[in-house]
Amino acid sequence: MLDTGAATGIRHRTRVRVYVLAAIFLLSFITIVDRVCISSAKAAMSQELGIGNLDFGAVFGAFALGYALFMVPSGWFADRYGPRLFLTAVVVIWSIFTITTGLVRTVMPLIVLRFLFGMAEAGAYPTATRAIYNWFPVRERGLALGLLNTGSRLGAAIGLFIMSLSVAHLGWRMSFWVLGVLGIAWAVFWYLWFRDNPATKSGINALELDYIRSGSPAHATADTPPPKATWSDFFGSRNFYLLLFQYFASNFTFFICFSWLLPYAQERYRLTPAEAGFYASIPLYCGAMATWLSGLAVDAIYKRGHWKLSRALPAACGFGLAAICLLFAGSLDSVLAFVVCFGIATFGVDLTLSPSWTASSDIGWHYTGTLSAAMNTMGSLGSFASSLAFPWLLKTTGTVEVYFYAAAIFNVIAILCWIGLRPDRPLIASHSE
């Protein structure tokens, strides 16, 4: 029941939205640990199941493909049924697939499971973004969405190291089983505690509720019915295409962290599994720092009255920094030099995440789940292309430099996308009048 606050003389607003963000941050962390566990387990799985590098490229790619295909339907379901019910369902489903991964004996069931796992995980970030849209005012969404992605980067960084130890001590099968149980536990908590509409959540007072609604149009808050929209509103918007391509570029560069970075570093620089896990985690810590800093920058610039600049400046700077570093990363012979260079590139592309997800809320409004899902679909296609291009180009050319050059070109084009993107122009034309 809503605590009115003002009627009882309370002058301080509650901070329930902070606890909502903490729960979403934890989910983001768990989600990515689930995702990168297979990278930590690659060597052990390859040996036991007899899987070569090209076949493992298909395993990595199957996840990215399933993730891409179910992304937009997931966003639509999140907008239609709300984050409480839909996020509970998808977390339970992907946790079951995580547990089942620990049972595979051959490569084909593994590819199928990774595809289904990707389909289930597709709902995580669009639905979490919709929850943040419901619970946070515009002025705080940059940091909130930045921290959502910080959870993913820390989950990957810590997960690569912890899961490498887990695989070494518990075995890769038990590692997947433990992660599946953790996911189901989170889903039960979320369903019992979370509410889609802040006004229906116990413990929140009127002061916080008014604060959440502040700065948003009356028709763009969680407790008003959504206006009608058609796919022509999406496909007829220049913002739609610009937002999608720049996210493709971001994920094409970044996905190597979730797939080939650890095994590549281990093989090229002749590292032990523990050393490879340590070095592969460094770019992810850089990414975690970037998502947090870019979230702060987005909100700070926005509060100074610069809406477009608050999104475009951090993103353009990030893509520029990444493009420069990628030109050198593939030619470095020292593992430390390579990791530092690629870490700076990862820092750059992750500076673009908070602007990307915040812009999807700006442009999407009540259809934030659907738009962010479409954006993430293109990101997944970038991940899919990256997971296959990296081993193919390495085998074909004998060097990874071509891969990094291609990523650098994509990042330069992404800068141009941000120059043209207008976050103040929503998808639904009637709202822009």
pLDDT at 218: 47
Tokens of 130: 């919709």
How far apart CA 269 and CA 234 sit, in angstroms, is 46
Extended strands (E) in 230-282: none
Asked whether the beta carbons of 31 and 87 are under 8 A apart, the reply is no
9: left (phi over 0), alpha (psi -120 to 50) or beta: left
Asked whether the beta carbons of 145 and 361 are under 8 A apart, the reply is yes
What is the DSSP secondary structure assignment for residue 356, as one 8-state letter?
H
pLDDT at 63: 85
How far apart CA 205 and CA 226 sit, in angstroms, is 24
How far apart CA 41 and CA 172 sit, in angstroms, is 6
How far apart CA 370 and CA 382 sit, in angstroms, is 19
How far apart CA 92 and CA 103 sit, in angstroms, is 18
pTM: 0.73
How far apart CA 169 and CA 139 sit, in angstroms, is 46
Handedness of CA 237, 238, 241, 247 (dihedral sign): negative
The tokens 């990215």 sit on which residue? 64
Q: What is the crossing angle of helices 107-121 and 16-40, to 10°?
A: 160
pLDDT at 431: 44
Q: What does each C-alpha distance from 316 to 90, 146, 311, 389 come to in angstroms?
A: 33, 16, 9, 25
pLDDT at 400: 79
Name residue 296's amino acid.
L
How far apart CA 322 and CA 415 sit, in angstroms, is 11
Contacts of 283 (CB under 8 A, 6+ apart): 257, 261, 339, 342, 343, 345, 346, 347
| pLDDT by 10s per residue, the chain, length 433 | 455 444 445 568 899 999 999 999 999 999 888 887 887 888 888 888 888 777 887 887 788 788 878 888 888 888 888 999 999 999 999 999 999 998 888 888 999 999 999 999 988 888 998 899 889 988 888 888 888 888 888 887 788 778 888 888 888 899 999 999 999 999 999 999 999 999 889 889 889 888 888 765 544 555 555 566 666 778 888 899 999 999 999 999 887 776 778 778 887 787 877 787 788 888 888 988 998 899 899 999 988 888 889 999 999 999 999 999 999 887 777 888 988 999 999 999 999 998 998 998 888 877 887 888 889 888 878 888 887 888 888 888 877 788 889 999 999 999 999 999 988 887 775 444 4
Q: Which of 215, 207, 204, 195 is nearest to 134 (CA)?
A: 195
How far apart CA 31 and CA 258 sit, in angstroms, is 12
Tokens of 170: 């518990």
